[in-house]
Structure 1
Protein backbone atom coordinates (compact mmCIF):
# COMPACT_ATOMS: atom_id res chain seq x y z
CA UNK A 1 0.00 0.00 0.00
CA UNK A 2 0.97 3.65 -0.22
CA UNK A 3 3.18 5.27 2.41
CA UNK A 4 0.39 7.25 4.10
CA UNK A 5 -1.69 4.12 4.61
CA UNK A 6 1.26 2.23 6.09
CA UNK A 7 1.99 5.16 8.42
CA UNK A 8 -1.63 5.19 9.62
CA UNK A 9 -1.69 1.43 10.14
CA UNK A 10 1.65 1.45 11.95
CA UNK A 11 0.56 4.31 14.20
CA UNK A 12 -2.72 2.56 15.07
CA UNK A 13 -0.90 -0.69 15.85
CA UNK A 14 1.64 1.18 17.98
CA UNK A 15 -1.19 2.81 19.90
CA UNK A 16 -2.93 -0.53 20.42
CA UNK A 17 0.25 -2.09 21.82
CA UNK A 18 1.72 0.70 23.94
CA UNK A 19 -0.59 3.73 23.84
CA UNK A 20 -1.83 3.36 27.41
CA UNK A 21 1.73 3.57 28.74
CA UNK A 22 3.46 6.18 26.57
CA UNK A 23 0.63 8.03 24.80
CA UNK A 24 1.27 9.60 21.40
CA UNK A 25 4.85 8.34 21.30
CA UNK A 26 3.37 4.90 20.64
CA UNK A 27 1.74 6.30 17.51
CA UNK A 28 4.95 8.05 16.49
CA UNK A 29 7.12 4.96 16.79
CA UNK A 30 4.43 2.79 15.24
CA UNK A 31 4.25 5.15 12.26
CA UNK A 32 8.04 5.05 11.86
CA UNK A 33 8.13 1.26 12.16
CA UNK A 34 5.29 0.99 9.64
CA UNK A 35 7.46 2.63 6.98
CA UNK A 36 10.72 0.76 7.62
CA UNK A 37 9.90 -2.33 5.46
CA UNK A 38 9.60 -0.06 2.42
CA UNK A 39 13.21 1.05 2.73
CA UNK A 40 13.91 -1.77 0.28
CA UNK A 41 13.06 0.74 -2.48
CA UNK A 42 16.61 2.05 -2.12
CA UNK A 43 17.66 -1.07 -4.04
CA UNK A 44 16.74 0.96 -7.14
CA UNK A 45 19.87 3.07 -6.59
CA UNK A 46 22.43 0.26 -6.44
CA UNK A 47 20.90 -2.73 -8.24
CA UNK A 48 19.80 -3.41 -11.80
CA UNK A 49 16.09 -3.23 -12.56
CA UNK A 50 15.46 -6.99 -12.34
CA UNK A 51 17.30 -7.35 -9.02
CA UNK A 52 15.50 -4.31 -7.60
CA UNK A 53 12.13 -5.79 -8.55
CA UNK A 54 13.09 -9.08 -6.87
CA UNK A 55 14.23 -7.29 -3.71
CA UNK A 56 11.09 -5.15 -3.42
CA UNK A 57 8.69 -6.59 -0.85
CA UNK A 58 11.12 -9.40 -0.15
CA UNK A 59 13.29 -9.76 2.96
CA UNK A 60 12.08 -6.57 4.70
CA UNK A 61 8.47 -7.71 4.23
CA UNK A 62 8.95 -11.11 5.83
CA UNK A 63 8.11 -12.71 9.14
CA UNK A 64 11.83 -13.38 9.49
CA UNK A 65 12.64 -9.65 9.31
CA UNK A 66 9.92 -8.80 11.84
CA UNK A 67 11.13 -11.37 14.35
CA UNK A 68 14.81 -10.54 13.90
CA UNK A 69 14.71 -6.75 13.90
CA UNK A 70 11.89 -5.98 16.35
CA UNK A 71 14.07 -6.65 19.45
CA UNK A 72 17.02 -4.83 17.86
CA UNK A 73 15.00 -1.65 17.31
CA UNK A 74 13.41 -2.10 20.74
CA UNK A 75 16.82 -2.27 22.40
CA UNK A 76 18.02 0.86 20.60
CA UNK A 77 14.90 2.89 21.42
CA UNK A 78 14.93 1.85 25.07
CA UNK A 79 18.43 3.34 25.38
CA UNK A 80 17.23 6.93 24.93
CA UNK A 81 13.52 6.80 25.80
CA UNK A 82 12.29 7.10 29.39
CA UNK A 83 10.19 3.98 28.98
CA UNK A 84 12.73 1.14 29.28
CA UNK A 85 10.68 -2.04 28.88
CA UNK A 86 12.42 -3.75 25.94
CA UNK A 87 9.75 -6.47 25.74
CA UNK A 88 6.97 -3.91 25.23
CA UNK A 89 9.01 -2.04 22.63
CA UNK A 90 9.70 -5.34 20.87
CA UNK A 91 5.99 -6.06 20.62
CA UNK A 92 5.34 -2.60 19.19
CA UNK A 93 7.99 -2.98 16.49
CA UNK A 94 7.04 -6.57 15.72
CA UNK A 95 3.36 -5.81 15.14
CA UNK A 96 4.08 -2.62 13.21
CA UNK A 97 6.54 -4.52 11.02
CA UNK A 98 4.39 -7.60 10.38
CA UNK A 99 1.11 -5.79 9.66
CA UNK A 100 2.86 -3.86 6.88
CA UNK A 101 3.46 -6.90 4.60
CA UNK A 102 0.14 -8.46 5.59
CA UNK A 103 -1.58 -5.36 4.22
CA UNK A 104 0.69 -5.33 1.16
CA UNK A 105 -0.32 -8.92 0.47
CA UNK A 106 -3.81 -7.64 -0.36
CA UNK A 107 -2.46 -5.76 -3.39
CA UNK A 108 -1.48 -6.83 -6.90
CA UNK A 109 2.27 -6.81 -6.31
CA UNK A 110 2.04 -8.95 -3.19
CA UNK A 111 4.78 -9.75 -0.69
CA UNK A 112 7.24 -12.49 0.24
CA UNK A 113 5.91 -12.91 3.75
CA UNK A 114 7.59 -16.31 4.07
CA UNK A 115 10.99 -15.22 2.74
CA UNK A 116 13.43 -16.91 2.03
CA UNK A 117 10.82 -19.21 0.48
CA UNK A 118 10.03 -18.01 -3.03
CA UNK A 119 6.34 -17.50 -2.34
CA UNK A 120 4.81 -14.11 -3.14
CA UNK A 121 1.35 -13.64 -1.63
CA UNK A 122 -0.89 -11.39 -3.70
CA UNK A 123 -4.62 -11.59 -2.99
CA UNK A 124 -5.39 -8.63 -5.30
CA UNK A 125 -8.43 -7.42 -3.38
CA UNK A 126 -7.40 -3.76 -2.95
CA UNK A 127 -5.55 -1.23 -5.07
CA UNK A 128 -2.28 0.14 -3.72
CA UNK A 129 -4.11 3.41 -2.92
CA UNK A 130 -7.65 3.06 -1.57
CA UNK A 131 -9.27 6.12 0.08
CA UNK A 132 -12.10 4.04 1.55
CA UNK A 133 -9.54 2.07 3.55
CA UNK A 134 -7.26 4.95 4.52
CA UNK A 135 -9.39 8.04 5.16
CA UNK A 136 -11.79 6.71 7.86
CA UNK A 137 -8.80 5.05 9.52
CA UNK A 138 -6.86 8.35 9.48
CA UNK A 139 -9.75 10.39 10.90
CA UNK A 140 -10.27 7.99 13.80
CA UNK A 141 -6.53 7.88 14.50
CA UNK A 142 -6.41 11.70 14.70
CA UNK A 143 -9.39 11.70 17.07
CA UNK A 144 -7.61 9.18 19.27
CA UNK A 145 -4.40 11.25 19.28
CA UNK A 146 -6.23 14.21 20.84
CA UNK A 147 -7.40 12.16 23.81
CA UNK A 148 -5.42 11.64 27.01
CA UNK A 149 -3.52 8.36 27.07
CA UNK A 150 -5.72 6.96 29.86
CA UNK A 151 -9.00 7.98 28.21
CA UNK A 152 -11.44 5.28 27.15
CA UNK A 153 -12.36 7.34 24.09
CA UNK A 154 -8.75 7.08 22.91
CA UNK A 155 -8.88 3.30 22.84
CA UNK A 156 -12.39 3.39 21.38
CA UNK A 157 -11.40 5.57 18.41
CA UNK A 158 -8.23 3.61 17.71
CA UNK A 159 -9.90 0.22 18.01
CA UNK A 160 -12.79 1.40 15.84
CA UNK A 161 -10.31 2.44 13.15
CA UNK A 162 -8.67 -0.98 13.23
CA UNK A 163 -12.04 -2.75 13.12
CA UNK A 164 -13.47 -0.67 10.25
CA UNK A 165 -10.32 -0.92 8.13
CA UNK A 166 -10.03 -4.68 8.70
CA UNK A 167 -13.73 -5.19 7.97
CA UNK A 168 -13.32 -3.27 4.72
CA UNK A 169 -10.57 -5.66 3.64
CA UNK A 170 -12.90 -8.59 4.32
CA UNK A 171 -15.60 -6.86 2.27
CA UNK A 172 -13.20 -6.40 -0.67
CA UNK A 173 -12.57 -10.14 -0.69
CA UNK A 174 -16.31 -10.68 -1.01
CA UNK A 175 -16.51 -8.12 -3.82
CA UNK A 176 -13.59 -9.81 -5.54
CA UNK A 177 -15.46 -13.11 -5.39
CA UNK A 178 -18.56 -11.53 -6.92
CA UNK A 179 -16.54 -9.93 -9.73
CA UNK A 180 -14.81 -13.25 -10.40
CA UNK A 181 -18.16 -14.93 -10.87
CA UNK A 182 -19.24 -12.15 -13.24
CA UNK A 183 -16.14 -12.52 -15.41
CA UNK A 184 -16.22 -16.32 -15.59
CA UNK A 185 -19.91 -16.28 -16.53
CA UNK A 186 -19.20 -13.74 -19.27
CA UNK A 187 -16.34 -15.86 -20.61
CA UNK A 188 -18.65 -18.85 -20.75
CA UNK A 189 -21.43 -16.90 -22.47
CA UNK A 190 -18.98 -15.53 -25.04
CA UNK A 191 -17.55 -19.04 -25.52
CA UNK A 192 -14.01 -17.93 -24.72
CA UNK A 193 -11.64 -20.76 -23.87
CA UNK A 194 -9.03 -19.71 -21.35
CA UNK A 195 -6.21 -21.14 -19.23
CA UNK A 196 -6.25 -18.83 -16.24
CA UNK A 197 -8.02 -15.74 -14.93
CA UNK A 198 -6.98 -13.15 -12.35
CA UNK A 199 -9.15 -10.33 -11.04
CA UNK A 200 -8.20 -7.10 -9.29
CA UNK A 201 -9.77 -3.71 -8.51
CA UNK A 202 -9.06 -0.68 -10.64
CA UNK A 203 -7.31 2.34 -9.06
CA UNK A 204 -8.84 4.05 -6.02
CA UNK A 205 -12.00 1.94 -5.76
CA UNK A 206 -13.52 -1.52 -5.39
CA UNK A 207 -16.57 -0.96 -7.63
CA UNK A 208 -14.86 -1.39 -10.99
CA UNK A 209 -12.84 -4.58 -11.39
CA UNK A 210 -10.39 -5.81 -14.00
CA UNK A 211 -9.86 -9.35 -15.26
CA UNK A 212 -6.65 -10.57 -16.86
CA UNK A 213 -7.41 -13.70 -18.85
CA UNK A 214 -4.82 -15.98 -20.41
CA UNK A 215 -5.67 -17.77 -23.65
CA UNK A 216 -3.45 -19.84 -25.93
CA UNK A 217 -1.86 -17.00 -27.89
CA UNK A 218 -3.08 -13.83 -26.19
CA UNK A 219 -4.11 -12.19 -22.97
CA UNK A 220 -7.55 -10.66 -22.61
CA UNK A 221 -8.32 -7.70 -20.37
CA UNK A 222 -11.88 -6.84 -19.39
CA UNK A 223 -13.56 -4.45 -16.96
CA UNK A 224 -16.73 -4.93 -14.95
CA UNK A 225 -18.50 -2.40 -12.74
CA UNK A 226 -21.22 -3.33 -10.27
CA UNK A 227 -23.31 -0.73 -12.14
CA UNK A 228 -22.89 -2.39 -15.55
CA UNK A 229 -25.92 -3.23 -17.64
CA UNK A 230 -24.14 -4.62 -20.72
CA UNK A 231 -21.81 -7.59 -21.25
CA UNK A 232 -18.09 -7.35 -20.51
CA UNK A 233 -15.96 -6.29 -23.47
CA UNK A 234 -12.62 -8.11 -23.52
CA UNK A 235 -9.64 -6.56 -25.32
CA UNK A 236 -7.04 -8.92 -26.78
CA UNK A 237 -3.28 -8.49 -26.44
CA UNK A 238 -1.13 -10.96 -28.41
CA UNK A 239 1.57 -12.55 -26.28
CA UNK A 240 4.24 -12.24 -28.99
CA UNK A 241 6.60 -14.23 -26.79
CA UNK A 242 8.29 -15.60 -29.91
CA UNK A 243 9.75 -12.13 -30.56
CA UNK A 244 12.23 -12.74 -27.75
CA UNK A 245 13.96 -15.44 -29.78
CA UNK A 246 17.05 -16.75 -27.97
CA UNK A 247 16.71 -14.02 -25.33
CA UNK A 248 14.11 -16.18 -23.62
CA UNK A 249 16.94 -18.48 -22.50
CA UNK A 250 18.97 -15.69 -20.86
CA UNK A 251 18.98 -15.96 -17.02
CA UNK A 252 17.99 -12.32 -16.52
CA UNK A 253 15.06 -12.69 -18.93
CA UNK A 254 13.95 -15.82 -17.08
CA UNK A 255 14.05 -13.88 -13.81
CA UNK A 256 11.95 -11.08 -15.29
CA UNK A 257 9.40 -13.55 -16.60
CA UNK A 258 9.30 -15.20 -13.16
CA UNK A 259 8.62 -11.83 -11.52
CA UNK A 260 5.52 -11.40 -13.70
CA UNK A 261 4.46 -15.04 -13.22
CA UNK A 262 4.22 -15.23 -16.99
CA UNK A 263 1.74 -12.36 -17.30
CA UNK A 264 3.62 -10.37 -19.93
CA UNK A 265 3.53 -9.46 -23.60
CA UNK A 266 6.25 -8.41 -26.01
CA UNK A 267 5.84 -5.76 -28.67
CA UNK A 268 8.24 -4.31 -31.19
CA UNK A 269 8.54 -0.65 -32.13
CA UNK A 270 11.26 0.98 -34.24
CA UNK A 271 13.35 -2.21 -34.07
CA UNK A 272 13.23 -2.13 -30.26
CA UNK A 273 11.58 -4.79 -28.11
CA UNK A 274 9.37 -3.86 -25.17
CA UNK A 275 8.44 -6.01 -22.20
CA UNK A 276 4.94 -5.27 -20.82
CA UNK A 277 3.98 -6.39 -17.32
CA UNK A 278 0.25 -7.09 -17.63
CA UNK A 279 -0.41 -7.52 -13.92
CA UNK A 280 -0.94 -3.79 -13.44
CA UNK A 281 -2.88 -3.11 -16.64
CA UNK A 282 -2.80 -0.13 -18.98
CA UNK A 283 -2.84 3.62 -18.37
CA UNK A 284 -6.15 3.84 -20.18
CA UNK A 285 -9.61 2.31 -19.96
CA UNK A 286 -10.02 2.36 -23.73
CA UNK A 287 -10.10 -1.00 -25.57
CA UNK A 288 -6.76 -2.32 -26.84
CA UNK A 289 -4.75 0.40 -25.08
CA UNK A 290 -1.08 -0.52 -25.10
CA UNK A 291 0.27 2.16 -22.79
CA UNK A 292 0.93 -0.21 -19.90
CA UNK A 293 1.65 0.94 -16.35
CA UNK A 294 4.91 -1.02 -16.30
CA UNK A 295 6.59 -1.13 -19.68
CA UNK A 296 10.29 -1.84 -20.16
CA UNK A 297 12.50 -1.32 -23.16
CA UNK A 298 14.81 -4.30 -23.67
CA UNK A 299 18.41 -3.41 -24.39
CA UNK A 300 20.94 -6.13 -25.18
CA UNK A 301 24.69 -5.71 -24.63
CA UNK A 302 27.49 -7.15 -26.76
CA UNK A 303 27.39 -10.38 -24.75
CA UNK A 304 23.70 -10.89 -25.48
CA UNK A 305 22.63 -10.07 -21.91
CA UNK A 306 19.36 -8.08 -21.71
CA UNK A 307 18.69 -5.11 -19.46
CA UNK A 308 15.32 -3.49 -18.80
CA UNK A 309 14.74 0.25 -18.95
CA UNK A 310 11.41 1.32 -17.48
CA UNK A 311 9.46 3.69 -19.71
CA UNK A 312 8.74 7.03 -18.06
CA UNK A 313 5.10 7.75 -17.26
CA UNK A 314 3.35 10.89 -18.43
CA UNK A 315 1.35 12.71 -15.74
CA UNK A 316 -1.22 13.57 -18.39
CA UNK A 317 -1.92 9.86 -18.83
CA UNK A 318 -2.68 9.54 -15.11
CA UNK A 319 -5.12 12.46 -15.21
CA UNK A 320 -6.79 11.04 -18.28
CA UNK A 321 -7.04 7.62 -16.65
CA UNK A 322 -8.81 9.09 -13.59
CA UNK A 323 -11.35 10.75 -15.86
CA UNK A 324 -11.92 7.51 -17.79
CA UNK A 325 -12.20 5.56 -14.55
CA UNK A 326 -14.93 7.80 -13.23
CA UNK A 327 -16.97 7.36 -16.37
CA UNK A 328 -16.45 3.60 -16.47
CA UNK A 329 -17.29 3.10 -12.78
CA UNK A 330 -20.78 4.47 -13.50
CA UNK A 331 -21.39 1.48 -15.78
CA UNK A 332 -21.38 0.56 -19.44
Structure 2
Protein backbone atom coordinates (compact mmCIF):
# COMPACT_ATOMS: atom_id res chain seq x y z
CA UNK A 1 0.00 0.00 0.00
CA UNK A 2 1.41 3.43 -0.91
CA UNK A 3 1.96 6.21 1.60
CA UNK A 4 -0.95 8.24 0.22
CA UNK A 5 -3.32 5.33 0.87
CA UNK A 6 -2.40 4.83 4.51
CA UNK A 7 -5.39 5.66 6.71
CA UNK A 8 -6.15 5.33 10.39
CA UNK A 9 -9.20 3.20 11.13
CA UNK A 10 -11.01 3.01 14.45
CA UNK A 11 -11.09 -0.60 15.65
CA UNK A 12 -14.20 -0.26 17.79
CA UNK A 13 -17.09 -2.32 16.43
CA UNK A 14 -20.08 -0.51 15.07
CA UNK A 15 -18.49 2.92 14.68
CA UNK A 16 -17.43 2.56 11.05
CA UNK A 17 -15.41 5.75 11.40
CA UNK A 18 -12.39 6.20 9.15
CA UNK A 19 -10.05 9.07 9.97
CA UNK A 20 -8.30 11.21 7.40
CA UNK A 21 -4.98 10.00 6.03
CA UNK A 22 -2.08 10.88 8.27
CA UNK A 23 0.14 13.65 6.95
CA UNK A 24 3.74 13.03 6.01
CA UNK A 25 4.99 14.82 9.14
CA UNK A 26 2.74 12.73 11.40
CA UNK A 27 3.88 9.51 9.76
CA UNK A 28 7.50 10.58 10.17
CA UNK A 29 7.13 11.35 13.88
CA UNK A 30 5.18 8.13 14.47
CA UNK A 31 7.92 6.04 12.88
CA UNK A 32 10.65 7.96 14.69
CA UNK A 33 8.92 7.52 18.06
CA UNK A 34 8.76 3.79 17.45
CA UNK A 35 12.59 3.64 17.49
CA UNK A 36 13.76 3.85 21.09
CA UNK A 37 17.43 4.16 20.17
CA UNK A 38 16.69 7.13 17.92
CA UNK A 39 14.69 8.82 20.69
CA UNK A 40 17.52 8.36 23.18
CA UNK A 41 19.98 9.71 20.62
CA UNK A 42 17.73 12.68 19.91
CA UNK A 43 17.58 13.43 23.63
CA UNK A 44 21.36 13.29 23.90
CA UNK A 45 21.80 15.58 20.88
CA UNK A 46 19.22 18.03 22.25
CA UNK A 47 21.02 18.10 25.60
CA UNK A 48 24.39 18.76 23.92
CA UNK A 49 22.91 21.56 21.81
CA UNK A 50 21.29 23.06 24.90
CA UNK A 51 24.60 22.95 26.78
CA UNK A 52 26.38 24.58 23.84
CA UNK A 53 23.79 27.37 23.58
CA UNK A 54 23.78 27.93 27.35
CA UNK A 55 27.59 27.94 27.67
CA UNK A 56 27.78 31.59 28.83
CA UNK A 57 25.09 30.99 31.45
CA UNK A 58 26.67 27.76 32.70
CA UNK A 59 30.13 29.31 33.04
CA UNK A 60 28.60 32.33 34.77
CA UNK A 61 26.98 30.01 37.31
CA UNK A 62 30.35 28.40 37.93
CA UNK A 63 32.04 31.81 37.98
CA UNK A 64 34.79 30.89 35.51
CA UNK A 65 35.95 31.78 32.02
CA UNK A 66 37.36 29.43 29.35
CA UNK A 67 40.34 31.72 28.67
CA UNK A 68 41.36 32.88 32.15
CA UNK A 69 44.70 31.50 33.37
CA UNK A 70 45.16 30.34 36.98
CA UNK A 71 48.90 29.76 37.47
CA UNK A 72 48.42 29.17 41.18
CA UNK A 73 46.31 26.06 40.53
CA UNK A 74 49.10 24.12 38.79
CA UNK A 75 52.36 22.80 40.22
CA UNK A 76 55.14 24.31 38.11
CA UNK A 77 57.73 22.14 39.85
CA UNK A 78 56.01 19.03 38.42
CA UNK A 79 55.63 20.44 34.91
CA UNK A 80 52.22 22.05 35.37
CA UNK A 81 50.20 19.23 36.94
CA UNK A 82 46.96 20.51 38.55
CA UNK A 83 47.15 20.97 42.31
CA UNK A 84 44.73 18.90 44.35
CA UNK A 85 42.90 15.62 43.94
CA UNK A 86 41.27 14.58 40.64
CA UNK A 87 42.87 17.35 38.63
CA UNK A 88 41.82 20.19 40.92
CA UNK A 89 38.10 19.39 41.08
CA UNK A 90 36.34 21.57 43.63
CA UNK A 91 33.50 24.00 44.25
CA UNK A 92 35.15 26.67 42.08
CA UNK A 93 36.20 24.29 39.30
CA UNK A 94 33.59 21.60 38.77
CA UNK A 95 35.69 19.39 36.50
CA UNK A 96 39.15 20.56 37.52
CA UNK A 97 41.61 22.71 35.62
CA UNK A 98 43.74 22.38 32.53
CA UNK A 99 47.37 21.31 33.05
CA UNK A 100 50.03 24.00 32.66
CA UNK A 101 47.57 26.86 32.21
CA UNK A 102 45.06 26.30 35.03
CA UNK A 103 42.14 27.25 32.80
CA UNK A 104 38.80 25.90 33.92
CA UNK A 105 38.08 22.56 32.26
CA UNK A 106 34.29 22.74 32.51
CA UNK A 107 34.20 26.15 30.82
CA UNK A 108 36.44 24.97 28.00
CA UNK A 109 34.34 21.84 27.46
CA UNK A 110 31.02 23.67 27.15
CA UNK A 111 32.51 26.36 24.91
CA UNK A 112 34.26 23.62 22.93
CA UNK A 113 30.84 22.09 22.30
CA UNK A 114 29.78 25.35 20.67
CA UNK A 115 32.77 25.31 18.36
CA UNK A 116 32.59 21.62 17.44
CA UNK A 117 28.82 21.55 16.85
CA UNK A 118 28.78 24.94 15.16
CA UNK A 119 31.57 24.04 12.72
CA UNK A 120 29.93 20.70 11.90
CA UNK A 121 26.49 22.22 11.29
CA UNK A 122 27.87 25.10 9.20
CA UNK A 123 29.94 22.69 7.10
CA UNK A 124 26.88 20.48 6.60
CA UNK A 125 24.85 23.46 5.36
CA UNK A 126 27.58 24.32 2.85
CA UNK A 127 27.76 20.69 1.68
CA UNK A 128 23.99 20.40 1.30
CA UNK A 129 23.69 23.71 -0.53
CA UNK A 130 26.44 22.96 -3.04
CA UNK A 131 25.47 19.30 -3.43
CA UNK A 132 21.80 20.05 -4.13
CA UNK A 133 22.63 22.88 -6.52
CA UNK A 134 25.19 20.94 -8.56
CA UNK A 135 23.25 17.67 -8.42
CA UNK A 136 20.05 19.25 -9.75
CA UNK A 137 21.97 21.18 -12.41
CA UNK A 138 23.62 17.97 -13.60
CA UNK A 139 20.36 16.02 -13.58
CA UNK A 140 18.35 18.65 -15.44
CA UNK A 141 21.08 19.83 -17.80
CA UNK A 142 21.86 18.50 -21.24
CA UNK A 143 24.37 15.73 -21.90
CA UNK A 144 27.39 18.06 -21.95
CA UNK A 145 26.44 19.84 -18.75
CA UNK A 146 25.77 16.53 -17.02
CA UNK A 147 29.11 15.10 -18.13
CA UNK A 148 31.08 18.19 -17.09
CA UNK A 149 29.47 18.47 -13.65
CA UNK A 150 29.65 14.72 -13.04
CA UNK A 151 33.39 14.59 -13.85
CA UNK A 152 33.98 17.63 -11.63
CA UNK A 153 32.07 15.91 -8.82
CA UNK A 154 34.16 12.76 -9.30
CA UNK A 155 37.33 14.83 -8.89
CA UNK A 156 36.01 16.43 -5.68
CA UNK A 157 35.00 13.06 -4.25
CA UNK A 158 38.45 11.65 -5.01
CA UNK A 159 40.23 14.47 -3.15
CA UNK A 160 41.59 13.39 0.26
CA UNK A 161 39.76 15.54 2.80
CA UNK A 162 42.52 15.75 5.38
CA UNK A 163 45.32 16.51 2.93
CA UNK A 164 43.37 19.17 1.05
CA UNK A 165 42.11 20.73 4.27
CA UNK A 166 45.62 20.92 5.69
CA UNK A 167 46.87 22.51 2.47
CA UNK A 168 44.08 25.10 2.31
CA UNK A 169 44.25 25.97 6.00
CA UNK A 170 48.01 26.50 5.75
CA UNK A 171 47.79 29.26 3.10
CA UNK A 172 45.00 31.33 4.68
CA UNK A 173 46.10 34.37 6.75
CA UNK A 174 46.18 33.82 10.50
CA UNK A 175 43.78 36.69 11.14
CA UNK A 176 40.87 34.97 9.40
CA UNK A 177 38.31 33.55 11.92
CA UNK A 178 39.40 29.97 12.34
CA UNK A 179 36.00 28.29 13.03
CA UNK A 180 34.53 29.93 9.92
CA UNK A 181 37.54 28.86 7.88
CA UNK A 182 37.41 25.24 9.08
CA UNK A 183 33.67 25.00 8.37
CA UNK A 184 34.14 26.50 4.90
CA UNK A 185 37.00 24.16 4.00
CA UNK A 186 35.18 21.04 5.16
CA UNK A 187 32.02 22.13 3.34
CA UNK A 188 33.77 23.03 0.09
CA UNK A 189 35.58 19.69 -0.09
CA UNK A 190 32.85 17.33 1.15
CA UNK A 191 29.83 18.10 -1.04
CA UNK A 192 30.56 15.52 -3.77
CA UNK A 193 28.67 12.56 -2.29
CA UNK A 194 25.43 14.44 -1.74
CA UNK A 195 25.68 15.88 -5.29
CA UNK A 196 25.81 12.32 -6.64
CA UNK A 197 22.74 11.34 -4.63
CA UNK A 198 20.78 14.40 -5.78
CA UNK A 199 21.78 13.88 -9.42
CA UNK A 200 20.65 10.24 -9.38
CA UNK A 201 17.35 11.18 -7.72
CA UNK A 202 16.82 14.03 -10.20
CA UNK A 203 17.37 11.73 -13.19
CA UNK A 204 14.72 9.37 -11.80
CA UNK A 205 12.25 12.09 -10.87
CA UNK A 206 12.33 13.93 -14.18
CA UNK A 207 10.98 10.82 -15.92
CA UNK A 208 7.74 11.05 -13.92
CA UNK A 209 4.55 12.26 -15.57
CA UNK A 210 4.06 15.44 -13.54
CA UNK A 211 7.62 16.62 -14.28
CA UNK A 212 7.18 15.84 -17.98
CA UNK A 213 3.88 17.75 -17.96
CA UNK A 214 5.61 20.73 -16.38
CA UNK A 215 8.23 20.68 -19.13
CA UNK A 216 5.55 20.51 -21.84
CA UNK A 217 3.72 23.44 -20.28
CA UNK A 218 6.80 25.61 -20.80
CA UNK A 219 8.25 25.74 -17.29
CA UNK A 220 11.95 26.50 -17.06
CA UNK A 221 14.44 24.16 -15.46
CA UNK A 222 14.78 26.10 -12.22
CA UNK A 223 11.03 26.47 -11.82
CA UNK A 224 10.68 22.72 -12.26
CA UNK A 225 13.44 22.17 -9.73
CA UNK A 226 11.85 24.50 -7.20
CA UNK A 227 8.24 23.38 -7.61
CA UNK A 228 8.51 19.71 -8.56
CA UNK A 229 11.92 18.30 -7.59
CA UNK A 230 12.96 19.93 -4.32
CA UNK A 231 9.91 18.68 -2.34
CA UNK A 232 10.60 15.12 -3.52
CA UNK A 233 14.33 15.46 -2.77
CA UNK A 234 13.68 16.50 0.82
CA UNK A 235 13.75 12.99 2.33
CA UNK A 236 17.08 11.77 0.86
CA UNK A 237 18.75 15.15 1.43
CA UNK A 238 17.65 15.36 5.07
CA UNK A 239 18.69 11.77 5.66
CA UNK A 240 22.16 12.24 4.23
CA UNK A 241 22.60 15.61 5.97
CA UNK A 242 21.83 13.97 9.32
CA UNK A 243 24.58 11.44 8.67
CA UNK A 244 27.03 14.14 7.54
CA UNK A 245 26.99 16.03 10.86
CA UNK A 246 28.89 13.38 12.88
CA UNK A 247 31.36 12.97 10.01
CA UNK A 248 32.03 16.71 10.07
CA UNK A 249 32.45 16.73 13.85
CA UNK A 250 35.09 14.03 13.50
CA UNK A 251 36.77 15.98 10.66
CA UNK A 252 36.94 19.16 12.78
CA UNK A 253 38.35 17.22 15.71
CA UNK A 254 40.95 15.57 13.48
CA UNK A 255 42.03 18.91 11.99
CA UNK A 256 42.29 20.48 15.44
CA UNK A 257 44.20 17.44 16.68
CA UNK A 258 46.67 17.88 13.80
CA UNK A 259 47.09 21.55 14.66
CA UNK A 260 45.37 22.89 11.54
CA UNK A 261 41.95 23.52 13.03
CA UNK A 262 40.77 25.94 15.70
CA UNK A 263 43.65 27.77 17.36
CA UNK A 264 44.06 28.62 21.07
CA UNK A 265 42.70 30.28 23.11
CA UNK A 266 39.43 29.31 21.37
CA UNK A 267 38.45 25.96 22.92
CA UNK A 268 37.71 22.89 20.80
CA UNK A 269 37.41 19.23 21.74
CA UNK A 270 39.93 18.19 19.12
CA UNK A 271 42.35 20.88 20.24
CA UNK A 272 41.99 19.71 23.86
CA UNK A 273 42.82 16.16 22.78
CA UNK A 274 45.97 17.46 21.14
CA UNK A 275 47.15 19.00 24.40
CA UNK A 276 46.02 16.05 26.49
CA UNK A 277 48.10 13.37 24.79
CA UNK A 278 50.98 13.99 27.22
CA UNK A 279 48.82 14.40 30.34
CA UNK A 280 46.77 11.21 30.32
CA UNK A 281 48.63 9.81 33.33
CA UNK A 282 48.97 12.95 35.47
CA UNK A 283 45.51 14.36 34.63
CA UNK A 284 43.43 11.63 32.97
CA UNK A 285 40.18 13.64 33.03
CA UNK A 286 41.76 16.15 30.66
CA UNK A 287 41.88 13.39 28.04
CA UNK A 288 38.83 11.33 28.99
CA UNK A 289 36.27 14.16 29.17
CA UNK A 290 36.69 15.65 25.66
CA UNK A 291 37.22 12.18 24.16
CA UNK A 292 34.09 10.88 25.88
CA UNK A 293 31.99 13.87 24.79
CA UNK A 294 33.23 13.52 21.23
CA UNK A 295 32.41 9.80 21.21
CA UNK A 296 28.91 10.33 22.67
CA UNK A 297 28.15 13.16 20.23
CA UNK A 298 29.24 11.25 17.15
CA UNK A 299 27.44 8.09 18.29
CA UNK A 300 24.20 9.94 19.10
CA UNK A 301 24.19 11.82 15.80
CA UNK A 302 24.91 8.62 13.86
CA UNK A 303 22.06 6.73 15.57
CA UNK A 304 19.73 9.69 15.08
CA UNK A 305 20.66 9.95 11.42
CA UNK A 306 19.93 6.26 10.92
CA UNK A 307 16.61 6.70 12.71
CA UNK A 308 15.70 9.61 10.44
CA UNK A 309 16.58 7.48 7.42
CA UNK A 310 14.30 4.69 8.60
CA UNK A 311 11.47 7.10 9.41
CA UNK A 312 11.67 8.82 6.01
CA UNK A 313 11.98 5.59 4.00
CA UNK A 314 8.53 3.99 3.59
CA UNK A 315 10.10 0.86 2.12
CA UNK A 316 11.91 0.23 5.42
CA UNK A 317 8.59 0.31 7.26
CA UNK A 318 6.92 -1.98 4.73
CA UNK A 319 9.81 -4.44 4.91
CA UNK A 320 9.56 -4.40 8.69
CA UNK A 321 5.83 -5.04 8.52
CA UNK A 322 6.21 -7.91 6.05
CA UNK A 323 8.89 -9.52 8.16
CA UNK A 324 6.81 -9.22 11.32
CA UNK A 325 3.79 -10.72 9.58
CA UNK A 326 5.79 -13.69 8.36
CA UNK A 327 7.15 -14.33 11.84
CA UNK A 328 3.63 -14.24 13.27
CA UNK A 329 2.42 -16.70 10.63
CA UNK A 330 5.35 -19.01 11.36
CA UNK A 331 4.55 -18.96 15.10
CA UNK A 332 0.88 -19.67 14.40
TM-score class, shorter: under 0.3
Q: Which has the higher contact order (CA 8 A, sep 6+)?
A: 2
Identify, as 1 or 2, the structure richer in strand.
1
Identify, as 1 or 2, the structure richer in helix.
2
Return the index of the structure with the highest Cα Rg: 2
TM-score, length of structure 2 as denominator length: 0.26
